[in-house]
Amino acid sequence: MTVLSLARDALATGPVCDNCLGRLVADRSFGLSNETRGNALRVARALDEDVDYEPADDCWVCETECDRFDWWAEQAVAAVHGYEFDTYQVGTKVPPLLEENDQLLREDVGLDPEAGELMKSEFNREIGKRFGEATSGQVEFGRPDVLLICDLATDEIELQVNSAFVYGRYRKLERDIPQTRWPCSDCNGTGRVQGNICGGCDGSGYRYDESVEQLAAPHVCDAMDGTEAVFHGAGREDVDALMLGTGRPFVIEVDEPRKRAIDTKALEAEINEAAAGKIEVEGLRRTTYDMVERVKEHDASKQYRMAVAFDEPVSADALADALNELTGATIEQDTPQRVSHRRAAKTRIREVYDASGSLDDDPDESTSATIEVHGAGGLYVKELVSSDEGRTSPSLAGLLGIGAVVTALDVLAVEGEEEPFEQDEFFLS
């Protein structure tokens, strides 16, 4: 089948616009629009048959919807008014009748149903191209900042504003502050029990008045003029533990942001001033959705400092020998009793990379010590000390043969096992 015979057969089906005609041969001669292809076929057919050239003024296939690319682009530009974005994607809902017409034309001229280009694809491209030119946005087919769906049946545009993300690290400088909001278990976060104010949370619905999330996320949400903010941390420390040193990586996800290009240095200073020494954030940077997955799923090694109390005096030599045995050891840990209500019962295998420490007060013998442990992600370090009634083996208590308990815990560093979190590929300028 020649393109000339194809044009003749297509035009014999009834009035067909240049776009619908050109879509039949969209896989030929790249660099041309379908409208240009269709008009060329119309001219060639007129020349070949020596008949008057008749431009298209109607179309049974698209019902002249292809004349409205400019109009749709204008509606799309209006839909994103007030939103900052760098990337976009345009989609189209084509009415079933028009999709059926598109297929009928191919059948009538003897083409494969997937030949050329489908109507929906042309609408996406032509409207998207015009929208991009009007807004200076860049098309993105993965996860764009904004997604616009043009509904040809209703003449409406559905706007989806995808989340924005800010990465950073936090230090928690006071104990008894959870990482995220902690709903009260007595009232299931409602603040009331059997119609009365809950005594467990004084009606607030939360077990703790503040969290790292509450101290940081609202500021990011306000800066981006979003509707809500969600906190994603690279693991979490116990509520009674400090997070010191290099801090813990986190990402704050802001829903439906109107602003994206924010001053992260000013935002960092604002959060730290408002937190008044309870937490500190640093290294705030705009990032991508990929960093959320990395922060949540990547196992990170951690360094801890612990104050330990023993049931009986321990000698410096015995402590040193026990810590040497733990260094490089493979630890088997059944789910600790303290988290068994929210963690599946299983045995976890974790590595201790290094363990060191010294006695407090008396250099030769003492009932307390300060130790530091560098271990694999997911290592329960409190149980590494206490043994959790034998659920963790080996343990410091087991090696010493006396009871031991952590009285204070500080997290000093959280780093990726294989590579650092801070990689340029995840960040936006």
Burial per residue of 164-191, b for 16 or more beta-carbon CB atoms within 10 angstroms, e otherwise:
bbbbbbbbbeeeebbbebbbbeebebeb
Burial class (CB within 10 angstroms; exposed 0-12, middle 13-18, buried 19+) of 428: middle
Cα separation, 137 vs 77, in Å, equals 11
Whether residue 238 lies in the annotated active site: yes
Amino acid at 192: R
Place of tokens 């936090």: 170
Decide if 60 contacts 20 (C-beta within 8 A).
no
* Catalytic residue (one of 18, 102, 145, 238): 238
Burial per residue of 84-122, b for 16 or more beta-carbon CB atoms within 10 angstroms, e otherwise:
bbbbbbbbbebeeebeebbbebbeebebeeebbbbbbeb
Q: Which pairs count as long-range contacts for 269-276, CB under 8 Å and 24+ apart, including other chains?
A: 270/219, 270/223, 271/215, 271/216, 271/219, 271/220, 274/215, 274/219, 275/215, 275/216
Decide if 183 contacts 206 (C-beta within 8 A).
yes
Burial per residue of 16-38, b for 16 or more beta-carbon CB atoms within 10 angstroms, e otherwise:
bbbbbbbbbbbeeeeeebbbebb
Which residues does the annotation mark as catalytic? Answer: 238
